[in-house]
Structure 1
């Protein structure tokens, strides 16, 4: 009985770790996109002094 519970918990932990990794990758992709957009904005407003 305890072994089944331990296996279920280990599987849940593995799934959460995977989900967390996916979210971290998505956040990194968004950070890159934000940096790209900030650069475009900076380039577009350089001549507006």
Structure 2
């Protein structure tokens, strides 16, 4: 599944039940200005879209 998410050409965030980011793809990184590693563990509300 992780490979499929990375291949998609639109932003994808996978969240845990608390709303924290557990995985993202390159397009989400480009949109947010953060790397996947920097986004991991953050609540989605912290991202400046």
Q: Which structure shows the bigger proportion of residues in strand conformation?
A: 2
**Larger relative contact order, structure 1 or 2 (CA cutoff 8 Å, min sep 6):** 2
TM-score, normalization by structure 2? 0.25
Which one has a larger percent helix, Structure 1 or Structure 2? 1
Return the index of the structure with the highest Cα Rg.
1
